[in-house]
Structure formats: structure tokens, C-alpha cells
């Protein structure tokens, strides 16, 4: 079976790797294979490349090369940020504040820290999925070590007021971690402009290879490494450096930045077209989660009432459309989403949801076909005429 038979509408879970990134990967894997920690001419060349690649990854987000820690992706970066900062936190400044809609990488790490004795506060969100800044303000204090609030939610695409969150954290003397995994490529992402002290990116979401990512780590942070055993990545992540992954990631970051804004305007129009067509045909039978807030241009989170989202997703798959459920990264994908629960959705709304996330190549014909399939499947599953 060929992947070409399918219309891929699951970009929030992972984008195809860009050929230019793959070419850079191959070049580094075959030409610059030396371990940069060794002591011979090829190692010295590799070390020079290592620094240059950190410079390029840093430049793409307005950061210094020494502020870039290369990781295996969003999960590792999130865990390094939260665990690493809390490990260095000293009483009385040793509390953690996160939003209730963080990715599981942050959420489960926060829960683990809580079980180990850390005081964790979970900031609620509004019905449209935006963090409640007043509630957050009440939770952040001189006892807060770190605030972690994502840029754009991976299930709904809802944008968070990251600049205000940074100000609240800093006013209390706390550090701010921003998971910008979904925002990069669609929006300008610059940690210094946002006011983020730590920021997570995952290459697989914008055309880098799977297993590549970054933690931006502002120079004055005190961060404990999670992977120990060597001095690599400024001491924050041990292990022989993956120059090939870095080269591919640097290329993907540069290309994503160059495209940003330009490729998404028409996608937003098509995302809106899908939602309008569904609303017109199915009215009260659906809900567009997060529609009341500013959102990423490519994500639509739709609850089909009184059916299971999984049944819808399977039927769409059989008809050639790949869509997500609430979140492909959720442990036990059929569990109702913690994000929709935090937005006050009923169990039923949450269980009936699918996540459509378009890529830049989506066409009007494909969107119209998808809409008609959703309408037909829904009527069939509900036994409606």
C-alpha cells in the first residue's frame, strides 16, 4: 500500500521529513562521522561543525549557541526543563506551576514530582481552552521555582498568552518554560522575545527527522542534567553528539522559518471551510473545541456528539483520510482528553472528538471530500436519515 493513497491530516502528530533535511543528515552521517570528543584532525573538524550547528539552531530562534541543548524531541526537552529546574530548586523557592492542559511530558513529570513531595499548582483554563491568567497569578509566588505553560495546545491548537505568563513568572522571580512544539513553523518563536527562560521544540513537527529536538536553556539557568555520563551539550545531555540529527534539524528550522506565515494563510481558510461546512450540515450535533479562542491555523478539534471519535477516525481512515484522536501522544489513546476535561467538556463530548491537523499541501477538494465523509459517517453512525 502506498502512502500516496492517503490524505494526511495529522500534522500535529508529525510532519514528513523534508528532503533537504534528509540530505543534510546523509551528508553528516557519511562525511562528518567522527566523534567530536576525540583528538585527531577529523574530530577537530567535527567539533567545529558541532559549534556551527548550534550557532545555526540558535540563530533560528534568536538564541546563543550555548543556549541550545540538542535532544531527542519534545518529550525529552520538556522533562529536562521541568525535572532539571526542580532538581536545582531550593526551599523556599521550590514549587512548580503548570497549566492543566500541558502535554503529558510536562503533566506526568509534574505528577511524578508531586508524588515525590514537590508542591505543584495546576492553573485552570477557560471554556475555550485559554489559561486563566488571574488564577495563574494567584498560584505564582516567591515560592515558585518554575512556571510551565505551552505556546499552543497540541489537541485544540489554542494559543496561550505566553508573554503575559512570562511577565507573571518573572514578577515573582520564577523562571518560565514554554513548550513551543506546536507553534514553531506556524508562528514566530523567539524565546527572548516571549520572555521564556526555557523553550521546547521538536523537529518532527516541522519537517526535521523524528528523534530530534531542542531545549533552549537561557544562560543563567541552573539546570540539572537528566542524562548523565559525559560533558556533551554543555553538560546538560551526555552521549556522543548526533551531528547528523543536528544538521537535519538546523535545515528544517531554517526552512520552516522561511515558510512561516506564507504557507499557512490558505490552510487557515480551508480549516475554517471544513468547520463551517460541518456546522451547517450537523449544527448542534458537533462542537468545535477551542473555536472561541485564537488558534493555530491548521488544527480543528471536533466533537461529534453521541458517537465515538475513534469510530469516526477509523471510517475516515478506510476512506483514505488520516486524522488524529484528541492527542496521538496520550497514554491509552481512547481515554477522554485531559485538555477537553479542563475546558469543562462532558465525558461524552470528549469521547466523540477527532483532531484534524492539516499540512501546507492540503487542497480545497480534499477538505470538501473530508467534510462530506464526516457528515455521511456521522449520520450513518447515529442512524440518522
Ligand X SMILES: Cc1ncc(COP(=O)(O)O)c(C=O)c1O
Beta strands in the chain (DSSP E): 7-9, 68-71, 95-99, 120-123, 144-148, 175-179, 198-202, 213-217, 286-288, 299-304, 321-323, 353-357
Binding characters for ligand X, 222-261, by CB under 6 A (x = yes): ----------------------------------------
* Residue environment code for 9-39, b if the CB has 16+ CB neighbours within 10 A, otherwise e: bbbbbbbebbeebbebbeebeeebebebeee
**Cβ-closest residue to ligand X?**
74
CA distances from 122 to 83, 132, 174, 294, 326 (A): 16, 11, 16, 22, 20
Contact between residue 256 and residue 204 where contact means Cβ atoms under 8 Å apart: no
Q: Does 182 bind ligand X (CB under 6 A)?
A: yes
Count of alpha carbons within 13 angstroms of residue 41, beta-carbon side: 0
- 17 tagged catalytic: no
Nearer to ligand X, 106 or 370 (CB): 106
Rounded distance between C-alpha atoms, residue 132 and residue 65, angstroms: 34
What's the min distance (Å) between Cβ of 180 and ligand X? 8
Residue 99 interacting with ligand X (CB under 6 A): no
Measured from the CB atom, the residue of 73 and 84 that comes closer to ligand X is: 73
Instruction: Pick one of 179, 233, 242, 349: the residue that binds ligand X (CB under 6 A).
Output: 179
Contact between 95 and ligand X per CB under 6 A: no
State yes or no: residue 109 binds ligand X (CB under 6 A): no
Which lies closer to ligand X via its Cβ, residue 204 or residue 267?
Answer: 204
**Span near ligand X by CB under 6 A; candidates 37-45, 60-68, 69-77, 312-320:** 69-77
Stretch binding ligand X (CB under 6 A), from 34-42, 71-79, 254-262, 372-380: 71-79
Stretch that binds ligand X, among 15-23, 175-183, 302-310, 340-348 (CB under 6 A): 175-183
Rounded Cα distance, 83 and 349, in Å: 33
At closest approach, how far in Å is the CB of 103 from ligand X? 4
b/e 174-188 (16+ beta carbons within 10 angstroms → b) = bbbbbbbbbbbbbbe
Q: Which is nearer to ligand X, 36 or 74 (CB)?
A: 74
How far apart (Å, rounded) are the C-alpha atoms in residues 15 and 41? 37
Given 17, 178, 322, 329, the catalytic residue: 329
204 binds ligand X (CB under 6 A): yes
329 lies in the binding site for ligand X (CB under 6 A)? yes
The side-by-side arrangement of strands in the sheet containing 353-357 is 286-288, 299-304, 353-357
Name which position in 209, 213, 225, 324 contacts ligand X (CB under 6 A): 213
Q: How far apart are CA 348 and CA 118, in angstroms?
A: 33
Residues that bind ligand X (rule: CB under 6 A) add up to a total of 15
Q: Which residues does the annotation mark as catalytic? A: 329
Q: Which residues bind ligand X (CB under 6 A)?
A: 73-75, 78, 103, 105, 150, 154, 179, 181-182, 202, 204, 213, 329
Amino acid at each position: 500500500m502506498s502512502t500516496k493513497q492517503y490524505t494526511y491530516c495529522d500534522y500535529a502528530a508529525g510532519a514528513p521529513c523534508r528532503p533537504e533535511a534528509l540530505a543534510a543528515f546523509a551528508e553528516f552521517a557519511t562525511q562528518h562521522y567522527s566523534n567530536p570528543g576525540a583528538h585527531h584532525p577529523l574530530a577537530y573538524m567535527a567539533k567545529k561543525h558541532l559549534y556551527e550547528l548550534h550557532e545555526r539552531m540558535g540563530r533560528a530562534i534568536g538564541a546563543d549557541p550555548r543556549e541550545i541543548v540538542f535532544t531527542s524531541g519534545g518529550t525529552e526537552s520538556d522533562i529536562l526543563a521541568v525535572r532539571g529546574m526542580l532538581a536545582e530548586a531550593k526551599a523556599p523557592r521550590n514549587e512548580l506551576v503548570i497549566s492543566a492542559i500541558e502535554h503529558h511530558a510536562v503533566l506526568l513529570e509534574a505528577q511524578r514530582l508531586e508524588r515525590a513531595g514537590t508542591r505543584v499548582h495546576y492553573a485552570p483554563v477557560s471554556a475555550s481552552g485559554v489559561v486563566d491568567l488571574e488564577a495563574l497569578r494567584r498560584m505564582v509566588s516567591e515560592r515558585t521555582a518554575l512556571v510551565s505553560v505551552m505556546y499552543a495546545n497540541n489537541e485544540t491548537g489554542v494559543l496561550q498568552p505566553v508573554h503575559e505568563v512570562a511577565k507573571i513568572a518573572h514578577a515573582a522571580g520564577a523562571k518560565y518554560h514554554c513548550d513551543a512544539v506546536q507553534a514553531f513553523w506556524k508562528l514566530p518563536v523567539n524565546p527572548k522575545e516571549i520572555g521564556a527562560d526555557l523553550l521546547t521544540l521538536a523537529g518532527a513537527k516541522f519537517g526535521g527527522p523524528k528523534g530530534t529536538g531542542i531545549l533552549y536553556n537561557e544562560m543563567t539557568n541552573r539546570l540539572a542534567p537528566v542524562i548523565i555520563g559525559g560533558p556533551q551539550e554543555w553538560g546538560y545531555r551526555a552521549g556522543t553528539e548526533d551531528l547528523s540529527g543536528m544538521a537535519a534539524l538546523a535545515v528544517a528550522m531554517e526552512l520552516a522559518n522561511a515558510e512561516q506565515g506564507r504557507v499557512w494563510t490558505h490552510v487557515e481558510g480551508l480549516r475554517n471551510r471544513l468547520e463551517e461546512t460541518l456546522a451547517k450540515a450537523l449544527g448542534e450535533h458537533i462542537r468545535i473545541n477551542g473555536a472561541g479562542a485564537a488558534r493555530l491555523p491548521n488544527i480543528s478539534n471536533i466533537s461529534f456528539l453521541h458517537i465515538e471519535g475513534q469510530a469516526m477516525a477509523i471510517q475516515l481512515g478506510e476512506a483514505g483520510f488520516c486524522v488524529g484522536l484528541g492527542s496521538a501522544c496520550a497514554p491509552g489513546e481512547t481515554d477522554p482528553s485531559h485538555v477537553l476535561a479542563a475546558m469543562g467538556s462532558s465525558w461524552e463530548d470528549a469521547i466523540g472528538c477527532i483532531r484534524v491537523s492539516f499540512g501546507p499541501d492540503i487542497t480545497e477538494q480534499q477538505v470538501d471530500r473530508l467534510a462530506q465523509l464526516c457528515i455521511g459517517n456521522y449520520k450513518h453512525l447515529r442512524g440518522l436519515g
